[in-house]
Structures are given as structure tokens and as C-alpha cells.
Structure 1
Amino acid sequence: MIRFVFRFFGFWILAGGFVALIVDGTRSIAAARLTFTSAADAWSAVSPDTFALARARLTDLSTWAWPDVAAPLLGLPLFVLLCGLGFLLLAIGRARRRSRYEVG
């Protein structure tokens, strides 16, 4: 059951990554140059209050959490972050391969 949940969310997040890739591709064609939407820009456009709250909480948690961990991750293009997370969840939810030597 847990594998199903990981695969379910993995496929949806992977689909979101492909949608973000299509949006970035369309914007790149329209602008006649390569443009990417960072995860931070997308998050702050969707919900600026939660973005500011997360930034404040991570800064309060430790001095290195925001500038050294969260900011570089959120600086990645959105499709890279979503596709990477989707593939990770799919790998976690992958069905276990049975050995041909296993009894039972």
C-alpha cells in the first residue's frame, strides 16, 4: 500500500515537472532565448506568504539552512526539481524484484 502511495505521488509530481518544462519551453520560444522558471519564483508567485514564512522559519532554525541548503535548491529550474523528486518517489515505490532463487 505504501509503495502505491509513493508511485501515485511520484507520477503526479513527475507530470507537474513535464508541465513546467512545457511552460518554460513555450516561454523560451516566445522570448527567442532560453528562459527558466526557478522553483523560488514559482513558489513565491503561487503563495508569497508561505514562501516568506518558510524562509523566516529556516533562517530562525539555523543560520546556514536558508543560504546553504534551501536557496540553492529553490534556485534550480522548477522542472528539474519536480522531475527529480518524482523520479525519487518512483524509485522508492518501485516493486521489489523477486530473486529466481528465492523460495516461497
Structure 2
Amino acid sequence: MFRFLARLVGLWFVAMALVALVIDGTKTIAASAWVATPLGQYWYDFAPASLNTAQAAVQRHVAPFLWDPVIQTLLTAPVWASFAPLGFILLWMGERRWFRRRRASPI
């Protein structure tokens, strides 16, 4: 069950990264300059209230220093650079040989 969920979510993240890369690529071609939309911009466009709520929750309940250097760095990274590595890690974890048990040697 875990392998299936890991592969499903991993494929979903890789697909989102690919779509974001294509969108940024078309914007780059149209503008004749490098354009990379950050993850925080997409999050703010879709649900600005949840971004503010997440910031308040992390700073209040988890650790205030976690928001500034760690999460803001992730939010300023392009979407494709954020989701592609996470998707590939999940796909790697969902492989069959990852969970295959080794047989004990008769020695």
C-alpha cells in the first residue's frame, strides 16, 4: 500500500513539475528572458489565506526561525525545482526492490 501511494504521489509531483516547467518555458520564450515562477507565487494565487495561515501556524506553533531561512527559501524556488526532486525521491521509495527482503545466506 505504501509503495502504491509513494508512486502515485511521486508521479503527481513529477507531472506538476513538468507542467510548471512547460509554462515557465513558454513564458521565457515569449519574454525573451529567463522567467521562473516561484512556488510561493502559485500558492498565493490559488489560496492567499492559507499561505498566511501556514506562516502564522509555523511561526507560532513550530518554530519562528523555521519560516525565515527554510520555508521562505523553498517558496522562492521555482515550482519545477521544488516538486521534481521530491517526486523522484517518492518514485525511488516506491520501487519494488526497495522493499524486497534479502534471503539469508546458508553460510
- For normalisation by structure 1, the TM-score amounts to 0.89
* CA deviation after TM superposition for structure 1 residue 60, in Å: 1.3
Cα distance in 2 for partners of 1:80, 1:10 equals 14
RMSD after superposition = 1.7
- Which segment is superposed worse, 88-97 or 76-85? 88-97
For 2:86, the equivalent position in structure 1 comes to 85
Matched, 1:16 2:16: yes
Cα distance in 2 for partners of 1:63, 1:5 equals 32
Matched, 1:65 2:66: yes
Question: Counterparts of 1:93-104 in structure 2 under 5 Å?
Answer: 93-96=94-97, 102=103
Counterpart residue type for residue 91 of structure 2: L
SS at match of 1:10: helix
Counterpart residue type for residue 5 of structure 1: L
Moved over 3 A (4+): none
- Number of residue pairs matched by the alignment: 102
Cα distance in 2 for partners of 1:73, 1:94 equals 27
CA deviations 1:47-82 (Å, max 9, x no partner) are 101011111111213220110210011111101111
Give 1 or 2: higher helix fraction: 2
SS at match of 1:64: helix
SS at match of 1:96: helix
For 2:25, the equivalent position in structure 1 comes to 25
For 2:7, the equivalent position in structure 1 comes to 7
Cα distance in 2 for partners of 1:22, 1:43 equals 18
The gaps in structure 2 that reach 5 residues or longer are none
For 1:39, the equivalent position in structure 2 comes to 39
Q: Percent identity?
A: 33
